[in-house]
């Protein structure tokens, strides 16, 4: 199986690259892709950049150049206080935009021509025995740092367990191109807490053991 892995930032990609055996570098559309193997699978890993537009460009380039069988987005997310704590690994069962509204007669969070939620294609049984949280991830072009922002997001995406800036855009492109998509995130901070920024900065010391072991398990099960 050919698996594509997209990270948003260089810090995230740097944590991922040590998992890849015999890596080589390919450049397409100005984006660097790292090719190699994890176990029996061919893997293409890239950094898309922060935000929805960068994520969409990176995803479309990846699909058109490499034709992956599945795309995995891995990285960090902010918690909303709905059951996911710092360093918890989450796998989205649904993904939605928190900053999209297409006007009267449409549902907030739903892009035109798309379902209300982009859903994980893997069955619940696939994740048995994995130390993860599952739930709704909400995406938008804002670094969420205040509790008021979280509350607004939850009014659009009730029950969301995490927020990020790329997942919905990647899911949107994958939906348009009929490529299965899985979102894995590790909670880096809790927006609105008094030490939110310190949480985010200290998180990078402990993240690898919590998220990339899960990623490797997921890949080995595919």
Residues with Cβ < 8 Å from 201, sequence gap 6 or more? none
Q: For the residues of 163-182, what is the DSSP string, one character each?
A: EESSHHHHHHHHHHHT--EE
Sign of the dihedral defined by the CA atoms of residues 71, 76, 82, 85, in that order: positive
Residue 164's beta-bridge partner residues?
A: 139
Q: Is 189 a catalytic residue?
A: yes
Q: How far is CA 126 from CA 98, 123, 220, in A?
A: 28, 6, 11
Residue 185's Cβ-count burial label (10 Å; 0-12, 13-18, 19+) is buried
**CB burial string 71-91: b at 16+ within 10 A, e below:** bbbbbbbbbbeeebebbbbbb
Asked if 16 contacts 74 with a C-beta cutoff of 8 angstroms, the reply is: yes
Q: What is the rounded CA–CA span in Å between residue 162 and residue 31?
A: 27
Q: Is 64 a catalytic residue?
A: no
Catalytic residue among 12, 88, 93, 149: 12
| CA proximity to 97, closest of 44, 40, 171 | 171
Catalytic residue among 47, 189, 201, 206: 189
Catalytic residue annotation: 12, 189
């Amino acid at each position: 199986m050919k698996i594509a892995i997209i990270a948003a930032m260089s810090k995230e990609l740097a944590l991922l690259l040590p998992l890849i055996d015999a890596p080589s570098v390919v450049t397409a559309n100005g984006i660097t892709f790292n090719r190699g193997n994890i176990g029996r699978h061919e893997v293409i890993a890239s950094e898309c950049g922060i935000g929805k537009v960068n994520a969409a460009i990176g995803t479309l380039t990846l699909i058109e150049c490499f034709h992956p069988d599945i795309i995995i987005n891995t990285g960090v997310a902010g918690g909303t206080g709905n059951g996911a704590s710092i360093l918890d690994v989450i796998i989205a069962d649904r993904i939605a935009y928190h900053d999209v509204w297409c006007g009267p007669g449409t549902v907030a969070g739903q892009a035109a021509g798309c379902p209300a939620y982009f859903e994980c294609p893997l069955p619940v049984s696939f994740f048995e025995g994995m130390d993860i949280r599952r739930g709704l991830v909400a995406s938008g072009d804002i670094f969420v740092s205040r509790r008021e922002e979280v509350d607004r997001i939850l009014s659009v995406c009730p029950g969301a367990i995490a927020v990020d800036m790329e997942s919905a855009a990647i899911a949107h492109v994958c939906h348009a191109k009929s490529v299965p998509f899985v979102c894995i995130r590790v909670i880096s901070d809790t927006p609105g807490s008094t030490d939110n920024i310190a949480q985010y900065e200290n998180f990078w010391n402990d993240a690898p053991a919590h998220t990339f072991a899960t990623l490797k398990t997921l890949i080995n099960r595919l």
